[in-house]
Structure 1
């Protein structure tokens, strides 16, 4: 599916695809100190359609380093998960 999307839009750069499997607060309230997240991330070569990198993050809590509410908790969790998931790719020099 990812390769088909890249071919249809004629991208000349690798495409990053993410599938969120689980994203939820562990408690039935709007206030939380963690969000439970599970996702898959794929980097797909636009020419060959081959997956050049992938990672699966199993369902586990993302600590928020304090208590947050609703959208704020989601934003902090998203930033933390991206740091974790993309860390193996390293940093690019300008």
Structure 2
């Protein structure tokens, strides 16, 4: 279910890294990643930390990027309606 959600999000956010690879994170390269991550954390608040993280990160990628960690969402948040909110919010910030 998480893999399907990640694939769905990757299809709707342009310029994601590893677009065709399977994984549970959506990584979007951006020169202003830190500022965008801050805004996304305010807009997409969850009760879990680590849903939005900034890169470079030693266990993600070594370039400036935004990481949306679908793996840290509850299964009830993986519905299309919630994923669409994430997609719209991220695309509006880019």
Q: TM-score, normalised by structure 1?
A: 0.29
Higher strand share: 1
Q: Identify the structure with bigger relative contact order (alpha carbons < 8 Å, sequence gap 6+).
A: 2
Structure with bigger gyration radius: 1
More helix by share: 2
